[in-house]
Amino acid sequence: MSALAAHLYALIRNEGPITVARYMAEALGHPQLGYYATRDPFGRGGDFITAPEISQMFGELIGLWCAEMWRRLGRPRPIRLVEFGPGRGTLMADALRAIGQAMPELRTALAVHLIETSPALRARQTGSLRQVEAQWHDRWDEVPEGPVLAIANEFVDALPVHQLVRQGGQWRERLVGLAADGATLRFELSADAPAATAFLPAPLAAAAGALPDGSVVEVRPAALEMARALGTRIAAEDGAALIVDYGHAPSAPGDTLQAVRGHRFVDVLADPGEADLTAHVDFQAFAEAARASGAAAWGPVAQGRFLRALGIETRAATLLKGARPEQAKAIEQAMRRLIEPPEMGSLFKVLALSRAASPPPPGFESAP
Ligand code: SAH
């Protein structure tokens, strides 16, 4: 049994069954034993691959998006370029390179802030960003005040979710407890109505009576807190944010909790701390929390549509000019993977925040 599994068993023996949100928080984020604290999970030899690891074009285009937003903000100095959960630091490195080429004034005006709790990944980011003066933080509220451009790619999906289950006309919470053998984890339901119903999105709370028994709804207080914090900062001090992730546009019921290990789906309870655990992002809930804090929210639009609008095909054509045949094939494959449905092109979506009453950001011109 892994040290993290032993820790969870002891926790449940002492405190009783824990929420799915607590299970996720411990499995992913335990400061010494958690999944992210103990490894670099990306790439072919790891558990999963993310867009910036597929192609440099992803981070470059996001860098250009930031440059255009900075221009529209009236070029404030300094400006904080903040990334939530930077992984290997690849997106930030690619974005900074593109910014340096397209808008060198922004490159000198910006201060890089990375929000990362994993020591292993902080070390990795230090390596990728050797030429860059960056500051690391555990939490968003440590980022100094002032205008911000914030980016989060595949960050929100890792924030803990509560799973609320409809049963006999009531809400119950899905819990992780110990099976009778004392050596396996299993799901159970809370006896009482859970406190997490306070986070139900309004449309789902209103429709609860019509949901059949067994329906699962996921709520993510940490994402709502992030949306409110970003919305408040943008409303008060100006800026913009880009949230990229997989998930649904309107809030909808569904059990989307998943575990991935070695590029395969595995049992969510089988190996805590050894597999990545995520759940889909509720973009509507995120957007509404940001709007309620005074910012404008745009989209989400499909990642494929966003990257096309930003000119990924033109960027690929430029890269193809200098490429050898095998490189050319890799560039084309990477672009298709980033923009074509059903995978990254449509399951992945992009949400933007900007100040209220501003025009649509690049890529969101015809978005709701
Ligand atoms: N954005 C990167 C990595 C995505 S994986 C990419 O696209 O490749 C999630 C990242 O978020 C990891 O760097 C992980 O260590 C970090 N992370 C997860 N939960 C976090 C939290 N609560 N606070 C800060 N960082 C977190």
Tell me which amino acid residue 354 is: S
Q: Half-sphere exposure (CA, 13 Å, Cβ side) for 216?
A: 16
Rounded to whole angstroms, the Cα distance separating 64 from 60 reads: 6
Tell me which amino acid residue 212 is: P
From atom 22 of ligand 1, which residue's Cα is the shortest distance away?
159
56-77 average pLDDT score:
98
Ligand 1 centroid to 107 CA: how many Å? Answer: 24
pLDDT in tens, 220-255: 999 999 999 999 999 999 999 999 999 999 999 999
Ligand 1 centroid to 125 CA: how many Å? Answer: 11
| pLDDT (0 to 100) of residue 346 | 84
The sign of the torsion formed by the CA atoms of 351, 353, 357, 362 equals negative
Ligand 1 centroid to 213 CA: how many Å? Answer: 34
Rounded to whole angstroms, the Cα distance separating 92 from 71 reads: 19
- Ligand 1 nearest atom to the CA of residue 118, by list position: 15
Percent of the chain surpassing pLDDT 70: 99
Confidence check: pLDDT of 181 > 90: no
Q: Which residues pair with 189 in a beta bridge?
A: 174
Q: Is 87 in the pocket of ligand 1 (CB under 6 A)?
A: yes
Tokens of 352: 């933007």
Q: Is 36 in the pocket of ligand 1 (CB under 6 A)?
A: yes
From atom 16 of ligand 1, which residue's Cα is the shortest distance away?
85
Confidence check: pLDDT of 367 > 80: no
